[in-house]
Amino acid sequence: MLKLGVVPMDYWMAKDKTIGVRFELEGAQILKLIQGGERTADFYGFTAEDGDDIEDGDEPTSAGGFSDESGDDGDF
């Protein structure tokens, strides 16, 4: 189960005289991870990634879930 944070954005196409609404994703939260079924991550094109392992009951850090990387010499 997911909770999504979206922003509605309206648009108008003069060429086609069409109006509409699209939703831009701002954030997502996994509320309940349901495993099983016939389809795997490979079915959707996902591969293993290096990253954080999420366990039930993990508490967020005091920095709102982000670590302090101010001393990092990364690309950005």
Extract the tokens encoding 45: 């094109």
> What is the pLDDT of the chain when averaged over all its residues?
78
d(CA 72, CA 56) in angstroms, rounded, equals 29
Extract the tokens encoding 69: 């990387």
Query: How much is the pLDDT for 76?
Result: 46
Is pLDDT of 8 > 90?
Answer: yes
Query: How much is the pLDDT for 26?
Result: 95
pLDDT, tens only, 17-75: 999 999 999 999 988 887 777 777 788 888 877 776 766 665 655 555 556 555 555 55
**What is the value of pTM for the model shown?**
0.41
d(CA 46, CA 19) in angstroms, rounded, equals 34
Count of CA atoms in the C-beta half-sphere (13 A) of 60: 5
